[in-house]
Structure 1
Amino acid sequence: MSLVDFIKGSYIEFKDKVEWPKWPELQSSTIVVTVSTVLLAIFVFGVDSLFSKSIANILSLFINLFN
């Protein structure tokens, strides 16, 4: 199989056999992904802040313990 045959076959596959999403379906999927990404970012920020403050408190406790 040559490279030209592969490219022709790929083109036919994409053009005739792939079912591309319709515009409303694409919009709703984009909204779901965007909302999920924002929620995940807020969650990660919260967990990161909590761990950061916890580690700072633990370190200050050990520093004060040895002073």
Structure 2
Amino acid sequence: MSLVNFLKDSYIEFKDKVEWPKWQELQSSTSVVAIGTVILAALTFGIDTLFSKSIENIYSLIINLIN
């Protein structure tokens, strides 16, 4: 199978056989992904801040015990 045949078959497949989502479905899915991403980023930020403060407090405690 040559590259030209592959490209032709791929074009036909995408044009005629693939069922593309409607614009409304696409917008809805994009909104869900965007909101989920923001929530996940906020949770990651919160957990990272919590661990950072915890480690900072532990180091401070250890330094105070040594001095």
TM superposition score category, shorter chain reference: over 0.9
TM-score, normalised with respect to structure 2: 0.98
Q: Which residue does 2:2 correspond to in 1? A: 2
TM-score (norm 1): 0.98
Q: Percent identity?
A: 73
Runs ≥4 in structure 1, deviation > 6 angstroms? none
Shift of 1:26: 0.3
CA-based RMSD of the aligned residues comes to: 0.4
Distance 1:21 1:41 in 2: 27
Q: Structure 2 stretches of 5 or more lacking a match? A: none
2:22 counterpart of 1:22:
yes
Determine the C-alpha separation between the residues in 1 that align with 2:31 and 2:55: 36
Structure 1 unmatched ranges of 5 or more: none
Show CA shifts across 1:18-60 (max 9, x none). Answer: 0000000000001100100000010000000000000000000
Work out the CA distance in 1 between the residues paired with 2:34 and 2:4: 39
